[in-house]
């Protein structure tokens, strides 16, 4: 049996979080088309009969301007330094027969950093469902000339293509040993942390302009006192139960109630107005969609209360990062 740590490393929006969620079969990392969605490293544990991979999703490596950006890049590079094997993800989307494959300046920067760590590096070509397979060979040849990758693995997280092979190939490069985590462990993320991220995901989804990059979410209250109680409507007469539309997936059965108060932090009053929206409509939409996601996560009914607060220039200040949970201890 083999077990060990692996890290997903790459530029923003190459599909790291989507790949982690698909490998786990559960959502532990939020996903958004906006760059810099992932801000800290997130552990997902994949356990099978052959072994266990403790896999870190990491922030995209980009130009580190400002305290928050530097924190994110440091989190990714520290994960690479500490793991047994590194998966370097490269987005194959957009390749055409008319264009010669190239290594972007950003990917070249990541490669140069990976050359320094002395770990087995696996090249993972993502989103292969978006291109003709024949286009992969020139891209693979190009990268192989730059670095002696121990494996090259084309995958499509969307269609689960190549994921079983990815698990097997990563496992080959991990040390022999018993599982690091109990076999039923999915992630080391606390429920409060996941709840905060699910709220932030909806801000990313619904808000535009500069708002998503200036948002942080902190869960202030997480009341589980009624979590084990039966839902108040459990005794309702079955005659009043709504019939489900044929073909509609059944709603998850929810137990008890969890009451959550979370603060959404932004940097300016103008951003606060955007998040709240006209007559509070934007905040209501964010709260409704976040609550549904949190209920699926917890398996409980959720009462979610959101407040929007201003923390000026928090992304540029070390004390601002610490206040909102982005301190170095979480990335070391």
Query: Mapped to the 3 state alphabet, what secondary structure does 6-38 carry?
Result: EEEEECCCCCHHHHHHHHHCCCCCCCCCCCCCC
Which residues have C-beta within 8 Å of that of residue 98, sequence separation ≥ 6? none
Same domain, 8 and 150: yes
Quote the domain boundaries for residue 31: 2-172
Domains in the chain, number: 2
Residues 204, 241 within the same domain: yes
Quick count: other Cβ atoms within 10 Å of Cβ 280? 11
Q: Is the domain of 14 the same as that of 161?
A: yes
Q: Residue 222's closest CA among 203, 206, 201, 198? A: 198
Higher pLDDT, 248 or 216: 216
| SS3 (DSSP) at 259 | strand
Distance from C-alpha of 65 to C-alpha of 42, rounded to nearest angstrom = 22
Handedness of CA 278, 279, 283, 286 (dihedral sign): negative
**Integer CA distances (angstroms), 149 to 4, 85, 87, in order:** 19, 11, 10
Average pLDDT over all residues of the chain: 90
Query: What confidence tens digit (pLDDT) does each residue in 291-311 have?
Result: 999 999 999 999 999 999 999
Q: How confident is the model at residue 101 (pLDDT cuts 50, 70, 90)?
A: confident
Asked whether the predicted pLDDT for residue 71 surpasses 50, the reply is: yes
Ranked by mean pLDDT, the top range of 95-109, 209-223, 257-271, 313-327 is 257-271
List CB contacts of 225: < 8 A, sequence separation 6 or more.
Answer: none
CATH number for position 92: 3.40.50.300
């Amino acid at each position: 049996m083999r077990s060990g740590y692996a890290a997903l490393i790459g530029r923003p929006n190459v599909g790291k979080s989507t790949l982690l969620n698909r490998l786990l079969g559960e959502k532990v990392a939020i996903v958004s088309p906006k760059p810099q969605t992932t801000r800290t490293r997130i552990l997902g544990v994949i356990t099978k009969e052959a072994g266990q991979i403790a896999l870190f999703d990491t922030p995209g490596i980009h130009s580190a301007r400002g305290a928050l950006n530097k924190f994110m890049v440091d989190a990714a590079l520290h994960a690479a330094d500490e793991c047994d094997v590194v998966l370097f993800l490269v987005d194959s989307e957009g390749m055409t027969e008319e264009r010669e494959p190239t290594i972007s300046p950003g990917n070249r920067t990541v490669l140069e950093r990976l050359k320094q760590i002395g770990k087995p590096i696996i090249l993972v070509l993502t989103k292969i469902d978006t291109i003709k397979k024949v286009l992969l060979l020139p891209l693979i040849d190009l990268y192989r000339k730059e670095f002696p990758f121990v494996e090259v693995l084309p995958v499509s997280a969307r269609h689960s293509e190549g994921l079983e092979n990815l698990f097997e190939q990563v496992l080959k490069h991990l040390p022999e040993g018993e599982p690091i985590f109990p076999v039923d462990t999915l992630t080391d993320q606390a429920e409060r942390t996941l709840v905060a991220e699910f709220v932030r995901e909806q801000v990313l989804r619904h808000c535009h302009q500069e708002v998503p990059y200036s948002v942080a979410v902190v869960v202030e209250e997480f009341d589980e006192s009624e979590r084990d109680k039966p839902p108040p409507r459990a005794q309702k007469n079955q005659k009043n139960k709504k019939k489900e539309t044929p073909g509609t997936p059944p709603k998850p059965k929810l137990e008890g109630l969890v009451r959550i108060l979370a603060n959404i932090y932004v940097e300016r009053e103008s951003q606060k107005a955007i998040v709240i929206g006209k007559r509070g409509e934007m905040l209501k939409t964010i709260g409704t969609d976040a609550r549904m996601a949190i209920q699926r996560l917890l398996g409980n009914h959720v009462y979610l209360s959101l407040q929007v607060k201003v923390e000026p220039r928090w992304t540029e200040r070390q004390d601002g990062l610490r206040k909102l949970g982005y301190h170095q201890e979480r990335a070391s």
